């Protein structure tokens, strides 16, 4: 087998195969004389949730084949991370799945902590849980708004973004930024929550309970919305597992696989919450599972605020975490550690780990290889959107093109995470 790159450019052009277009329908019940139309949806299309290009083969209004083409927002984040010190790479990984930035940062930090054998103080773990669960609600709210928008329920977008903004206010309070807060550090979090954060978070969760009830009433009693979702896009459970699908899409079929329960991390075992599951795995179940997950996330946030332990919010290992600012004026050692950390970063002993957590879209895995220097030799994110996208074909085939749009909405792909 010769390398495709040793072939001259013009000849390589001929290797672009049109096989799929000429005989796209092996295995479907399409008559040979059916009039087929191949169109592109995207890359720039409001219903694709980013720059996703779908090569669709249509027979009338029925989708006979759909091939997702990706790479339009590939920015080489994984490569860039290899040129950054560990604590600077956090900034990069946060930008992969841009709606679930706390999860990206956690997966990376936890992987590095495992390589360092670094203990995270309990208060930091609880603060991480609070922020991750708030982030999960924010991500699901954004999904709810855009998914309903795709189905024609435009007002949902404004309602859900209003509530998401309240979460972003909380993030601004604790981390100083609304998006990509870089709040999680290796060994803990950058700062303790400020006074007033707890009250504001409790106000939010109390408010949000009734708001979710209102949204459900708005959507569940809308016959158009329900009929657009009911018994559409069903993929059998076994097939989803073969395709590697995880998260709400898998749970909608009745599988209660959730890494927060199955393999608890970050002291999730301390909290009492349930895993919402669906029954048949259609779009309606996917919608219900995500709505129910928001409720459970609020319960976790409240429990974490109730039980928030006292103590340090970041490890006191000065080789990993920056010393407190006030020490710099009086302590020579603190100044040296600060200087070493900021200029060189910390070194991580050689090794490799795969750390998997439950992001709003499924299993988010971070694979980090350390070579003993202060920069990672490899950072890879197993992004749930990227894997879940493979199930779009099964969801959308032989359904109407309008249902394809609903399938994309219920798949909840984040192109920043898919392309990285």
Partner 1 sequence: MIDPTGLELVARAVRGAVGDGSVRDTVHAHGAATLDVPPEDVHEVLGFLHSDADEPFDFLSSLHGCDYFPAEPRLAVHYQLLSTERRERLGVRTRVTVEAAESGVVPTVTDLFPTADFQEKEVFDFFGVRFAGHEDLRRLHMPEDYEGHPQRRDFPIGGEPVLYTFNEQRVPRWYE
Is 4 or 196 the residue whose CB approaches partner 1 more closely? Answer: 4
Is 16 or 32 the residue whose CB approaches partner 1 more closely? Answer: 16
CA distances from 277 to 154, 270, 284, 395 (A): 27, 21, 12, 19
- Strand-strand pairing, 36-41 and 53-59: antiparallel
Which range binds partner 1 by CB under 8 A, 41-49, 164-172, 336-344, 374-382?
374-382
Q: Which of 34, 263, 336, 342 binds partner 1 (CB under 8 A)?
A: 263
DSSP for 180-191, please give it. S---EETTEESS
Q: Which of 34, 39, 40, 79 binds partner 1 (CB under 8 A)?
A: 79
Is 177 or 390 the residue whose CB approaches partner 1 more closely? Answer: 390
- Rounded Cα distance between 152 and 137, Å, is 22
Q: Which of 328, 380, 400, 401 binds partner 1 (CB under 8 A)?
A: 380
**Smallest separation (angstroms) from partner 1 to the CB of 258:** 11
Q: Which of 351, 400, 401, 402 binds partner 1 (CB under 8 A)?
A: 351
For residue 274, give both structure tokens.
């349930």
Task: Work out whether the CA dihedral 132, 268, 409, 91 comes out positive or negative.
Answer: positive
**Residue 66 in the binding site for partner 1 (CB under 8 A):** no
- Rounded Cα distance between 53 and 347, Å, is 41
Is 42 or 175 the residue whose CB approaches partner 1 more closely? Answer: 42
**Residue 373 in the binding site for partner 1 (CB under 8 A):** no
Task: Work out whether the CA dihedral 163, 165, 169, 171 comes out positive or negative.
Answer: positive
**Smallest separation (angstroms) from partner 1 to the CB of 346:** 17
- Rounded Cα distance between 25 and 32, Å, is 10
Q: Alpha helix locations (H) across 176-258?
A: 197-220, 223-229, 237-242, 248-251
Which range binds partner 1 by CB under 8 A, 26-34, 113-121, 195-203, 320-328?
113-121
Q: Does a cis peptide bond (omega within 30 degrees of 0) precede residue 43?
A: yes
Q: Which of 59, 82, 198, 327 binds partner 1 (CB under 8 A)?
A: 82
**Residue 112 in the binding site for partner 1 (CB under 8 A):** no
Is 151 or 250 the residue whose CB approaches partner 1 more closely? Answer: 250
**Residue 365 in the binding site for partner 1 (CB under 8 A):** yes
**Residue 3 in the binding site for partner 1 (CB under 8 A):** yes
Which residue has tokens 């997950």? 293
Q: Which of 241, 299, 318, 340 binds partner 1 (CB under 8 A)?
A: 241
Is 69 or 206 the residue whose CB approaches partner 1 more closely? Answer: 69
**Residue 266 in the binding site for partner 1 (CB under 8 A):** no
In the Cβ-directed half-sphere of 81, how many Cα atoms lie within 13 Å? 27
Alpha-carbon Rg for the chain in angstroms: 23
State the distance between the two ends of the chain, measured CA to CA, in whole angstroms: 29
Q: Which of 45, 95, 114, 340 binds partner 1 (CB under 8 A)?
A: 114
Is 293 or 419 the residue whose CB approaches partner 1 more closely? Answer: 419
**Residue 246 in the binding site for partner 1 (CB under 8 A):** yes
Q: Which of 65, 78, 296, 412 binds partner 1 (CB under 8 A)?
A: 78
Number of residues that bind partner 1 (CB under 8 A): 48
Return the number of other C-beta atoms located less than 10 Å from residue 141's C-beta. 27
Is 2 or 223 the residue whose CB approaches partner 1 more closely? Answer: 2
Indicate the burial class of 301 (C-beta count within 10 angstroms; 0-12, 13-18, 19 or more). buried
Q: What's the DSSP call for residue 50? A: B
- Rounded Cα distance between 194 and 175, Å, is 9
Q: Which residues bind partner 1 (CB under 8 A)?
A: 1, 3, 5, 9, 12-13, 16, 70-71, 74, 76, 78-80, 82-83, 114-115, 117, 241-246, 255, 257, 262-263, 351-354, 356, 363, 365, 367, 369, 377-378, 380, 382, 386-387, 389-390, 419-420
């Amino acid at each position: 087998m010769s390398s495709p790159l040793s072939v001259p450019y013009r000849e390589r052009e001929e290797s672009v195969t049109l096989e799929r277009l000429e005989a796209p329908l092996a295995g479907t019940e399409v008559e040979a004389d059916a009039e087929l139309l191949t169109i592109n949806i995207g890359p720039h299309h409001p219903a694709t949730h980013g720059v996703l290009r779908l090569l669709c083969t249509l027979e009338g209004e029925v989708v006979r084949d759909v091939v997702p083409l990706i790479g339009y927002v590939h920015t080489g984040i994984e490569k860039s991370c290899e040129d950054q010190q560990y604590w600077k790479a956090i900034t990069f990984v946060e930008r992969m799945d841009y709606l679930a930035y706390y999860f990206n940062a956690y997966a990376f930090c936890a992987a590095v902590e495992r390589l360092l054998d670094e203990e995270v103080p309990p208060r930091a773990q609880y603060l991480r849980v609070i922020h991750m669960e708030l982030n999960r609600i924010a991500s699901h709210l954004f999904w709810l708004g855009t998914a309903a928008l795709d189905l024609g329920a435009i007002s949902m977008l404004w309602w859900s973004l209003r509530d998401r903004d309240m979460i972003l206010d909380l993030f601004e309070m604790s981390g100083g930024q609304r998006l990509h807060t870089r709040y999680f550090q290796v060994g803990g979090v950058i700062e303790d929550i400020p006074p007033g954060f707890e009250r504001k978070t409790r106000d939010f969760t109390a408010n949000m309970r009734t708001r979710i009830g209102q949204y459900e009433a708005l959507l569940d009693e809308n016959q158009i919305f329900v009929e657009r979702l009911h018994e559409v896009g069903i993929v059998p459970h076994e097939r989803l597992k073969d395709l590697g699908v995880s998260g709400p899409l898998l749970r909608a079929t009745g599988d209660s696989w959730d890494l927060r329960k199955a393999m608890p991390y970050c002291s999730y075992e301390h909290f009492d919450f349930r895993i919402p599951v669906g029954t048949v795995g259609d779009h309606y179940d996917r919608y219900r599972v995500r709505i129910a997950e928001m409720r459970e996330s609020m319960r976790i946030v409240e429990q974490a605020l109730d039980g928030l332990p006292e103590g340090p919010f970041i490890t006191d290992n000065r080789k990993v975490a920056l010393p407190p600012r006030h020490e710099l004026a009086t302590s020579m050692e603190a100044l040296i550690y600060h200087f070493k950390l900021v200029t060189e970063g910390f070194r991580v002993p050689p090794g490799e780990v795969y750390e998997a957590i439950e992001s709003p879209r499924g299993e988010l895995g971070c694979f980090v290889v350390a070579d003993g220097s202060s920069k990672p030799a490899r950072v890879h994110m197993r992004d749930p959107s990227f894997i879940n996208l493979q199930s779009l074909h099964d969801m959308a085939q032989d359904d109407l093109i309008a249902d394809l749009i609903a399938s994309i909405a219920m798949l909840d792909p984040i192109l920043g995470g898919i392309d990285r």
